[in-house]
Copies of this chain bind each other. A is one copy, B any other.
C-alpha cells in the first residue's frame, strides 16, 4: 500500500513475490484519517477477495513511529495525522500485521529488492515528485536512523540563501528541483512569453504546466525551458554529488515524476556529478532511473510485508520527541 496525497495505490502479491492484483483509489484526505483508513481497508478486502492477507506493508508521506505504528509528521498531507494508530486500526480490520514506513524509504526498499538495487551493497535513492524524499542503503540494509528520518535527502541545503522550504529551512534541494519548483519556473517562462513551444503544448494555460510537458517543449526548441531543466538538474547533481562524496555508493537511483522527464535531466545530473566529484573517479558510481518507475513504493510495500517489517533498528520516538508543524 502506498498512501499519497491524491491517490492510494494497493497491490497484492503471493508469498513468492508475484503480483496478483493492483488498484488505485483517490485519497479521501479531506474526510480525515478515519475515512481514509476505512477506504484503505475496503480496498484491500476487495482486492484480496475476502481472504486475509498475511501482512501489509504501507508507505506514508512523512515520518512514522515504526514500533508503535503511528503517523507522526505528515508535512504535506491534509488533516490531523499526529499519533494516529494507523497500524493498529488496519491490523484489527484486516486481521494481519501492518508495517508502516516513510514512502520514499519504502520506494528504496522496493528498488533494493526488485529493481536496480538487487545485489547492491551501498545505494542511495531519491524520489523526485511534489517533494523530494530519499533512502540510504548501507551494506544491503536500509538505514532509518533512530526516528526513521535518515534519508531526508530533499532537505539537504544546496543553495545557502535559496528559497524558503516547507520544512522551515531554506535552499533545500526540494525548493530547486522538485516537480513544483521546476513547474514554477516553467510558468514564469510561459507568462513572460519566453516559452513559445510550451505555450502551444499548454494552450497558454499556466495550470497545465508540468515537468513532462516542459521536457517536451525543450526538445521542441524552447531554449529557455531547456535551461530551466538543466538548472534544476544541476542542483540535483550537487545533491547527488554530496551523497557520493560522503558514502561512495555503487548506485544512485532517481525515481518519481521528475525523473520521468527523460534523458535531458539524467544526463545533466551525471555531467554535474563528473564536475563535482573529483576526489575519486565518479564513474565508479552508477546513476540510473528507477526501473520500477512509480511502482517502486508498491514493490517496497510487498518487500516490507514479506520481511515482516524493519528489524534490528531501534526506533526511539518518545512522547516527548516533538516536531513543531511549520
Contact = CB atoms under 8 A, between A and B. Distances in A.
Given A160-B234, A245-B155, A246-B246, A280 B149 contact: yes
A190 B235 CA distance: 36
A75 B278 CA distance: 11
A178 to B, nearest CB: 14
Interface in A114-172: 122, 134, 136, 138-139, 143-147, 149-153, 155-160, 165, 167-169
Contacts of A73: 279-280
Q: How many copies does the complex hold?
A: 2
Contact of A145 (B156, B165, B235, B248): B248
Nearest to A122: B145
Contacts of A280: 63, 73, 145, 147, 149, 152, 323
Contact of A152 (B139, B146, B169, B245): B245
A241 interface: yes
Interface string A302-326: 0000000000000010000111001
Interface residues of A, number: 53
A245 B160 contact: no
27 contacts: A138-B138, A144-B248, A145-B247, A145-B249, A146-B248, A147-B248, A147-B280, A147-B284, A149-B248, A152-B245, A153-B246, A155-B245, A155-B279, A157-B238, A157-B241, A157-B242, A158-B160, A160-B235, A160-B238, A165-B278, A168-B278, A169-B241, A169-B278, A279-B323, A280-B323, A281-B321, A281-B323
- Rank and list the top 6 A-B pairs by shortest CB-CB distance, nearest first: A145-B248, A168-B278, A150-B248, A149-B280, A156-B242, A167-B278
